[in-house]
């Protein structure tokens, strides 16, 4: 059996929890909305991604979200722990200073 690598996160991840806080309407204007995504927390068998959606015209925050993701072994059909390689990858996208409050 091969050791999972960072590419496995793209092939097998479950959404364990999703929280969305709407701050203001995001009205279509033809100007693309801005989206920033970062890793806010990493644990042994899950990690959190935080998002900030901004209005393309005004730059105001329209929504903040947090998604808790769990690596999943597609062959064994069960959740699995994060590997060291995956943890290194996730840490490269971590930003604890920008974590979404109360997401």
The answer as to whether 42 is a domain residue is yes
The answer as to whether 3 is a domain residue is no
Tell me which residue of 67, 74, 20, 76 sits closest to 46, measured CA to CA: 67
Q: What is the pTM of this model?
A: 0.83
Element (H, E) at 86: helix 84-91
> Based on the structure, what is the number of domains in the chain?
1
The answer as to whether 2 is a domain residue is no
Query: pLDDT digits over 22-46, tens only?
Result: 999 999 999 999 999 999 999 999 9
The answer as to whether 101 is a domain residue is no
The answer as to whether 32 is a domain residue is yes
Task: Enter the tokens of residue 64.
Answer: 């903040």
Range of the domain at 18: 8-94
The answer as to whether 24 is a domain residue is yes
CATH number, residue 79 = 3.10.129.10
The answer as to whether 100 is a domain residue is no
Q: Tens place of pLDDT for every residue, the chain, 103 residues?
A: 555 556 778 789 999 999 999 999 999 999 999 999 999 999 999 999 999 999 999 999 999 999 999 999 999 999 999 999 999 999 988 987 766 655 5
Tell me which residue of 53, 20, 23, 57 sits closest to 36, measured CA to CA: 53
């Amino acid at each position: 059996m091969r050791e999972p690598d960072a590419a496995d996160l793209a092939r097998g991840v479950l959404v364990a929890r999703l929280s969305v806080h709407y701050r203001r309407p995001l009205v279509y204007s033809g100007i693309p909305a801005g989206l920033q995504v970062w890793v806010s927390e990493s644990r042994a068998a899950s990690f959190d991604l935080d998002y900030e959606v901004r209005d393309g015209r005004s730059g105001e925050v329209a929504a903040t979200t947090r998604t808790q993701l769990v690596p999943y072994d597609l062959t064994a059909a069960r959740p699995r722990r994060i590997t060291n390689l995956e943890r290194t990858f996730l840490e490269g996208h971590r930003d604890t200073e920008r974590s979404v409050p109360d997401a």
